[in-house]
Copies of this chain bind each other. A is one copy, B any other.
Amino acid sequence: MSRKLLMHVGPVMIDDDVLLAGVKDNSGFASPEFVTSMKNALNGLKYVMNAEYYQPFIMPGSGTMGMESVTSLLKKDDKILIVSSGVFGDRWKEIFSRYDVKYKLLRAEPGKAIPEDQVLDELSREKYRMVTVTQVETSTGVLYPVKSLVKKIRDRVDLIVVDAVASASAEELMVQDWGIDVCLTGSQKAIATPPGAALMVLSPKAVENIREDSISGYYTDLSKWINVMKNFQSGKSGYYTTLPVHTVFSLEKSFELIKNETMENRIKRHTLVSGIIGAGLNGMDMKIMAEKGFASHTVTAMMLDGLDMNTFLNKCLKSNVEMGTGIVPEYAGKYIRIGHMGNVNANDAISTVSVIEKTLNEMGKKVPSGVEAAQEYFMHQ
């Protein structure tokens, strides 16, 4: 029996058509069908990012490769302000610590988000070249109010970078309208494609800021990658290092499915699914890590109230629901993360609540009915 539900944080459940689109036994990096597919995928990325006039990038690697590639916009001693809600916000610090730049980390407690005013304060105190912020912090399930923050800081900093790894295509994200400079994600999260592609869009201003003499390494050097992307956009082949050809075929199909569903319906679906799960957890009196108003629609962190995490997760897996470990250092091992991104629907949410409820009971924690609360929520949508 392989029909487990992968309620995890990426890779997530993937539509078979997306996987099968990558089954091509004779397509090379310069094959005409790949050139077409790459062009379509680049356009699809702009659609998902709501960034019609931006420069899209699809590069080989994980989302972190995309994060590190912003070094292509930096020179020695540049200052970066990092707005972090957890492990993946902190990752910016770890990246920049390998380079000759200066950074300051504003880090919220798990479940909370740095208040926008604190960011503003910091920006008035010091001149920063770049601000980074994580839309959905995968380690805590916190959704940062990016739209509002960008509005407030747009005039105070050169470059605004949004990590939308765990949010793009599932949360509201108007990259161009809101005025974000760099927005990046990975193929394996809400876009529901296998991992292997770092996805980014850059505003015209960000593109101007790409420097050949930047601090970046070779592999992450956007001054080289940009020409490859422009080639594909104009229907020609291009090469810097080998692109993840088969992942791009899958991406193209995924973007096609997203367009068919429409971004509006896709966001509604993620809202419904996270709503059902949230209602179920509330019905069982289980605590959600994210503060009220800051819960994402893609990841829910559930506190375990003293139960052993690995036992809990293994029991759920035996009931065919796979979820993620809790990793934020302050509460490592004391919570689980439920991913609900990509090819996920209300039925999966009900099943997930059902298995959590069953497992809690099995582990001796008597809780009020979760599925009944979840079903109530579901029936009133």
Q: Assess the B379–A350 pair: CB atoms within 8 A.
A: no
CA distance A51 to B346 in the complex (A): 43
CA distance A369 to B354 in the complex (A): 14
A45 at the interface (CB under 8 A from B): no
Please encode chain A, from 236 to 268, with 1 for each CB lying within 8 Å of some chain B CB and 0 for all others: 000001111111000000000100010000000
Q: Assess the B345–A357 pair: CB atoms within 8 A.
A: no
Q: Interface range on chain A: under 10, 10 to 19, 20 to 34, or 35 or more?
A: 35 or more
Of the candidates B19, B24, B63, B261, the one whose C-beta lies within 8 Å of that of A241 is B63
Given A26-B13, A94-B218, is A194 in contact with B320 using a C-beta cutoff of 8 Å?
no
Q: Which residues of B contact A379 (CB under 8 A)?
A: 357-358, 361-362
A234 at the interface (CB under 8 A from B): no
- Least Cβ distance of A319 to chain B in Å? 7
Which of the candidate stretches A104-112, A149-157, A300-308, A370-378 sits at the interface with the other chain?
A370-378
Copies in the complex: 4
Q: Assess the A98–B2 pair: CB atoms within 8 A.
A: no
Q: Which residues of B contact A27 (CB under 8 A)?
A: 6, 11
Of the candidates B5, B219, B325, the one whose C-beta lies within 8 Å of that of A26 is B5
Q: Which residues of B contact A95 (CB under 8 A)?
A: 217-218
Q: Assess the B8–A16 pair: CB atoms within 8 A.
A: no
A to B CB contacts below 8 Å, 29 in the list: A1-B261, A1-B345, A2-B17, A3-B15, A3-B344, A11-B245, A16-B25, A19-B23, A19-B246, A23-B23, A29-B195, A60-B65, A62-B219, A65-B241, A71-B217, A98-B218, A186-B242, A188-B242, A188-B245, A196-B244, A217-B217, A244-B244, A320-B345, A320-B347, A321-B347, A347-B355, A350-B371, A358-B375, A361-B379
